[in-house]
């Protein structure tokens, strides 16, 4: 390479490209790559060899193009035209280069996401230096497979809004739901919506296949949906539980059945959150009224909640059992709690009529833990016969 006062004499490079054989062009490729990699190389000389590099990037010999990509893959100051020319090559050359080159800034990444094929978009989505803007573009605009690639990028930190966008766009697909449900920070409202969506699909499938009588199928699927939602509420933090309770109420999902199920199995934190929301009280104030030995406290919050009077008895009994537990310092299983509620319904509340008592016990037969269900159903049948 000869140097003059105005930079390089590039005619010799052009001559190699025009008349040199493959070995000569590969040698030239190595020399120019070394020149570019040298931090002492003046900017003028870098500019002068850019057209030569562009010609090598479209060389008819694949060996030359592959060597160029390999030699320049770690060059941070590579001219964008050269980088994009290599990225436009066949996949075997382009994709490894695209995955590693540090020469792509935010705008370059977004340009590839906009106009590149899916293989190149996926490769960009997996880059360790993927910009926040590029990630946002993938979440809002890219195809399913490109969006899925983000989950393989450990540098991506999803926000709640990102999860909601992905669920709205791709929540119907099994692949996306598998990725979303595996995330520990997935917003609880998405988990609950998915539980409902799964129940709807299951009801439709069971109706189509006629696997069991329609009424039995509806009850079975409703049970599964409620249990899934309950588990989400149980595992939530107090703040998350309050937030998702508000969401469920807005979606007409905070049903009396959910609240009674929680009461029948001793999940009183769920009952507290529900009654606090429905009554418009703060959580501490709601708990204070729920767990007051004075019957007026519970009656007041129940009236404010707007829940049907038919479930007053079992909710009152559950609160009384919870008070007993606090005073005893005991910790009961779902079965034990349900047994204590059943005992309370059978032995307390003198003002409760036989028909109402049977109805409250029927709730335990419907929503209690499995062992308690059996006992409650037998007792209810006995009460009906006695009446």
Q: 204, 203, 252, 205: which is closest to 229 by C-alpha?
A: 252
pLDDT number for residue 201? 72
Q: 234 and 321, same structural domain?
A: no
Confidence band of 387 (pLDDT split at 50, 70, 90): low
Domain stop point among 103, 128, 148: 103
- Dist. CA 79–CA 40, nearest whole Å: 17
Q: 96 and 197, same structural domain?
A: no
- Dist. CA 321–CA 345, nearest whole Å: 10
pLDDT number for residue 218? 65
Q: For residue 373, count other CB atoms closer than 10 A to its CB.
A: 17
pLDDT number for residue 213? 61
Cβ partners under 8 Å of residue 256, min gap 6? 307, 308, 311
Q: 265 and 229, same structural domain?
A: no
In a domain, 148, yes or no: no
Domain stop point among 64, 87, 103: 103
Q: 75 and 16, same structural domain?
A: yes
In a domain, 320, yes or no: yes
Q: Tally the domains of the chain.
A: 3
pTM for the structure as a whole: 0.82
Segment 18-57, tens digit of pLDDT = 999 999 999 999 999 999 999 999 999 999 999 999 999 9
In a domain, 203, yes or no: yes
pLDDT number for residue 197? 85
3-state secondary structure at position 385: helix
Cβ partners under 8 Å of residue 321, min gap 6? 266, 332, 337, 340, 341, 344
pLDDT number for residue 2? 41
Domain stop point among 103, 135, 158: 103
In a domain, 169, yes or no: no
Q: 135, 141, 134, 124: which is closest to 83 by C-alpha?
A: 124
Query: Contact at 8 Å (CB) between 244 and 236?
Result: yes
Segment 131-186, tens digit of pLDDT = 999 999 999 999 999 999 999 999 999 999 999 999 999 999 999 999 999 999 99
Segment 286-302, tens digit of pLDDT = 999 999 988 788 999 99
Segment 57-86, tens digit of pLDDT = 999 999 999 999 999 999 999 999 999 999
Q: 205 and 288, same structural domain?
A: no
Q: 370 and 259, same structural domain?
A: yes
Q: 98 and 78, same structural domain?
A: yes
Tell me which residue range forms the domain holding 233: 187-248
Q: 294 and 240, same structural domain?
A: no
Segment 80-127, tens digit of pLDDT = 999 999 999 999 999 999 999 999 999 999 999 999 999 999 999 999
Q: Is residue 268 predicted with pLDDT exceeding 90? A: yes
Confidence band of 196 (pLDDT split at 50, 70, 90): confident
Q: 272 and 372, same structural domain?
A: yes
Q: Is residue 304 predicted with pLDDT exceeding 90? A: yes
- Dist. CA 319–CA 287, nearest whole Å: 10
pLDDT number for residue 137? 98
């Amino acid at each position: 390479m000869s140097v003059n006062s105005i930079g390089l004499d590039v005619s010799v490079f052009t001559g190699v490209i025009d008349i040199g054989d493959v070995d000569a062009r590969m040698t030239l490729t190595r020399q120019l790559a070394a020149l570019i990699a040298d931090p002492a190389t003046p900017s003028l000389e870098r500019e002068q060899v850019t057209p030569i590099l562009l010609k090598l990037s479209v060389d008819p010999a694949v060996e030359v193009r592959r060597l160029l990509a390999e030699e320049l893959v770690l060059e941070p100051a590579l001219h964008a035209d050269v980088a994009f020319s290599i990225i436009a090559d066949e996949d075997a050359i382009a994709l490894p280069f695209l995955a590693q080159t540090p020469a792509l800034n935010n705008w370059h990444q977004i340009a590839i996401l906009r106009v590149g094929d899916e293989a190149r978009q996926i490769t960009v989505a997996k880059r360790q230096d993927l910009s926040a803007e590029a990630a946002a573009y993938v979440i809002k605009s890219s195809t399913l497979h490109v969006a899925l690639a983000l989950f393989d990028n450990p540098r991506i930190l999803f926000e709640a809004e990102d999860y909601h966008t992905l669920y709205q766009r791709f929540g119907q697909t099994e692949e996306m739901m598998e990725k979303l449900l595996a995330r520990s920070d997935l917003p609880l409202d998405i988990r609950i919506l998915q539980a409902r969506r799964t129940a709807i699909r299951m009801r439709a499938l069971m109706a189509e296949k006629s696997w069991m009588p329609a009424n039995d199928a509806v009850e079975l699927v409703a049970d599964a949906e409620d249990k899934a939602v309950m588990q989400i509420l149980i595992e939530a933090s107090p703040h998350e539980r309050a937030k998702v309770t508000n969401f469920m109420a807005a979606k007409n999902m905070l049903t009396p059945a959910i609240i009674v199920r929680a009461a029948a199995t001793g999940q009183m934190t769920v009952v507290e959150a529900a009654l606090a929301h429905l009554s418009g009280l703060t959580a501490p104030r709601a708990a204070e009224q729920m767990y007051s030995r004075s019957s007026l406290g519970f009656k007041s919050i129940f009236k404010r909640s707007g829940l049907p009077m038919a479930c007053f008895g079992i909710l009152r009994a559950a609160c009384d059992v919870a008070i007993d537990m606090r005073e005893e310092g005991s910790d009961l299983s779902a079965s034990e709690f349900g047994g204590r509620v059943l005992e309370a319904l059978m032995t307390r509340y003198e003002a409760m009529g036989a028909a109402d008592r049977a109805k409250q016990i029927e709730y335990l037969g419907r929503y209690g833990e499995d062992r308690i269900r059996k006992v409650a159903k037998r007792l209810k049948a006995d009460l009906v016969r006695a009446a």
